[in-house]
Amino acid sequence: MTTISLPSRTPRRVHTATRVWNSLGVVAAALIALLWLMPLLWAVDTAFKPEEETATIPISWIPTHFTTDAFQKVFAESDVIRWFLNSTVVTVAVTLLVLVTASMAGYGLSRTDFRGRRVLLGLIIAGIMVPPQIVVVPLFREMLALGLVDTYWAMILPQVAFPAMVFILKKFFDGLPRELEEAARVDGASVWRIYWQIALPLSRPALAAVGIFTFIITWNNFLWPFLAVSNPDLMTIPVGLATVQSSYGLRYAQIMALAVLGGLPLLVAYVFFQRNIIRSVAHTGLSGT
């Protein structure tokens, strides 16, 4: 007697269940993204409202008419252009200096065996765990002793010490193959030439990630520029936003307009470098750090 076996439907059921779970995951991610975007959308909506509508009850999303009065008053009554220039100078300088110092320190810790190396690496890891608010008083006293308060250097130099970026680059250099460096050393290349012509080109994904995240963190930093600078001509965007908020009182449209202007460069940078950001995170594992 011949037995005929029917094809199993288990793979089809598994495939259907997988599609259902994937669809649920997409819906959940969309809802989370919408919740994350709500404050941004509200800020943009408020910035384009007439000032008298920003405090009306009940709250309405759609204004009676869109207006740019808040942006015009921000440019007329505040030194926003100067704040943008200061933020750009400080952020670009800090990012470049972090890339140079962190890459050199990370490569040295990865490739050089010297006495006290483990202790130094432990101190760097400890520096990651120390909240920056704890060291603001000693840093301010140091800047005061050096006569750097109310200068660009007072805002730049303390932010260059970035232990997390040193650790990230060190771990990336650990994963690079040493055969290329050994071959270059046999050919007579110096340590500096190996670092400059071999290690740095191979570490472009890590350098891009470090540069991007350093730029974002420095641009949004409020506490240290607020403490290090009291001269209005040296204020950055976050510090200027705080002063405008205190002087404007309940003029929500102007406050939101300045907040939108302050976040616009980061949004533009993300749009242009989105592919590099995703690739950098994938190469360096920053999502798990």
Q: Could you tell me the pLDDT band of residue 287, with boundaries at 50, 70 and 90?
A: very low
pLDDT digits (tens, 9 = 90+) for 159-191: 998 898 999 899 888 888 888 888 888 888 888
| Tens digits of residue pLDDT in 150-161 | 999 999 999 998
Cα separation, 240 vs 259, whole angstroms: 10
Which residue, among 159, 142, 127, has the nearest Cα to 224 in the 3D structure?
159
Whether residue 42 is predicted with pLDDT greater than 90 in this model: the reply is no
pLDDT of 116 reads 84
Report which of 25, 225, 206 is spatially closest to residue 132, judged by C-alpha positions: 225
User: Taking residues 194-213, what's their average pLDDT?
Assistant: 87
Q: Is the pLDDT of residue 26 over 60?
A: yes
Residue 107: pLDDT above 70? yes
Q: Rounded to whole angstroms, how far apart are CA atoms 61 and 49?
A: 9
CA 15, CA 12: separation in Å to the nearest integer? Answer: 5
- 245-249: long-range contacts (C-beta < 8 A, 24 or more apart)? none
Q: Which residues contact 88 (CB under 8 A, 6 or more apart)?
A: none
Contact 282, 203 (CB under 8 A): no
The H-assigned helical ranges of the chain are 10-47, 69-77, 80-111, 117-129, 136-146, 152-160, 163-174, 179-186, 191-194, 200-202, 204-220, 223-228, 237-248, 252-272, 274-284
Section 44-71 average pLDDT: 77
- Length of the chain counted residue by residue: 289
Percent of the chain with pLDDT over 70: 85
Confidence of residue 281 (pLDDT cuts 50, 70, 90): low
Each residue of 59-92: b (16+ CB within 10 Å) or e? Answer: eeeebeeebeebbebbeeebbbeebbebbeebbe
Is the per-residue pLDDT at 289 higher than 50?
no
Note the pTM of the prediction, 2 decimals. 0.79
Q: Is the pLDDT of residue 238 over 70?
A: yes
